[in-house]
Structure 1
Amino acid sequence: MIKDEILALCELTNDLLYHKIPKDKLHYYIDESLKIGRMAGKEFKGRDILSLCKEHNIELEFIKESKKTYGVSFRAQVEMDKKHTKIWLYEGSILELSDHSSFEGKKPIDFKKALEIHLSHEFFHYLEFINNDFVSDQLDPLVTMKLPYFTRKARINRCSEIGAHAFAKELLGLEELPNIYDYYYLINSGKTTKKEFYDMINRYEKLLEE
């Protein structure tokens, strides 16, 4: 089982500003993002995500086929404003994920669980939006440029993704952060190898131990 902190770092490395994060701040961004997501998840723990979407008047549209743009598969898309939120769910892409979710003796997740994971993820972003309280805004900004009379700061947007993963794990009672299934999919579909995956995990474990 891979620790939440490692899978959170896997997500954080996708941020455009990751290379500017000081090593001594990695734990801060990871731990605080996980904490925020977990706390939000505990408020709804045990609730059915479809029921939550209905209660919050979130419109769901299920689309049978997959959606790919430049070779990237989309499983869900969301449109939000203060009056209305709509989530499009691409059943073909979600089914592909569930079909490729077994790994080294672990049972695959079924379509329903894969769907719940994606809905939970988007529901967390919905909560951020309606409360105007994004994870990245709750954390320290990153100094990207410092001159004698000028300092430029920016937010680490991927912290919201880490929060969403932690929220889904807490809400659904998952064993690991759900972005683990993205890696299982990549391995089982031949887009990466087990060796490359474990090399990455080992590299990130060492980085967080430094």
Structure 2
Amino acid sequence: MMRLNRISIERVWPVLDTEVLAFSELRQDELYPSIRPNQIVSYIEGAVEFGRQAGKEYEYNGDLAPLMEHIVRSDTRVTFVDEPKKDGDKLIRAQYIRKPATILVYRPSLEQMDHFFLRSGFHIRQEDLIALHVCHEWFHHLEDTRFGRTDDKLPKIVMRKVGPVMFKQPVESTREIAAHAFTQQVIGLSWYPLLLDLLIDYSERKVKKEQIRDSFNGLKQEFKRAVEADVTAV
């Protein structure tokens, strides 16, 4: 059995760095068209840093019991669900329900992740896969109860003005960016967890590694163009 934080995923699969992966999350936000090019990196860096700083209070060392104890002490319960749940054609991994505070972990997602790693040559401990699922959702609970919401800590987008009054809206995708960073910090991963979701999706669709590499290179170029748009604009 292998620890998740000790595998070299880059030896088997194409990879992307944190900034580009976070950009792939940010660009799906409904407010993304309203974000100026010179704000993109600050939203990404702000969300990643917020998640990492929050994660420094906790450490998963391979023993699931202390992590679960932290979660229980925060008045949150963890429930495992046998039936799959999907968002489109993708399995939902876990969900956080606010009242009563509950983290739902979907077993089909654990199985899918386990099969992916086995096909990749890694026999990962089940406890590590569970930790990966619960950490992400637990962060959202901690946002509600301890740290405050990530999107409230970052600048809001001005949607309209009526006289001196400005109506602003938070960039909600920054919460997901921060949750991935929190999970990475707590588990001690060398790679940003969103990478795993992308690789599993490609693997399930039987996309060849060369095509994945091309797709990742395209995303890198899109990120570069997005942040440089204000520099090149006439």
Same fold (TM over 0.5): yes
- Asked if 1:87 is matched to 2:103, the reply is yes
Query: Where does structure 2 lack aligned partners over 5 or more consecutive residues?
Result: 1-14, 230-234
Cα distance in 2 for residues equivalent to 1:110 and 1:52:
20
The two structures, once aligned, show a CA RMSD in angstroms of 2.6
Q: What is the identity, as a one-letter code, of the residue corresponding to 2:219?
A: M
Give the secondary structure class of the aligned counterpart of 1:88. Answer: strand
Q: Which has the higher contact order (CA 8 A, sep 6+)?
A: 2
1:175-210: CA deviations, max 9, x gaps? 111011110011101176513343223322453466
**Percent identity between the two aligned chains:** 26
Distance 1:127 1:181, change over 3 A: same
TM-score of the superposed pair, with normalisation by structure 1: 0.85
In the other structure, the counterpart of 1:198 is 217
CA apart distance, 1:54: 2.6
Give the secondary structure class of the aligned counterpart of 2:56. Answer: helix
The partner residue of 1:50 within 59, 68, 75 is 68
- Asked if 1:37 is matched to 2:55, the reply is no
Query: Where does structure 1 lack aligned partners over 5 or more consecutive residues?
Result: none
Which stretch shifts more, 119-128 or 91-100? 91-100
Cα distance in 2 for residues equivalent to 1:209 and 1:111:
42
Query: Which runs of 4 or more aligned residues in structure 1 lie more than 6 Å from their structure 2 counterparts after TM superposition?
Result: none
- Asked if 1:99 is matched to 2:115, the reply is yes
Which stretch shifts more, 139-148 or 171-180? 139-148
- Asked if 1:14 is matched to 2:28, the reply is yes
Which stretch shifts more, 169-178 or 146-155? 146-155
Give the secondary structure class of the aligned counterpart of 2:190. Answer: coil
CA apart distance, 1:7: 1.3
TM-score of the superposed pair, with normalisation by structure 2: 0.77
Larger radius of gyration: 2
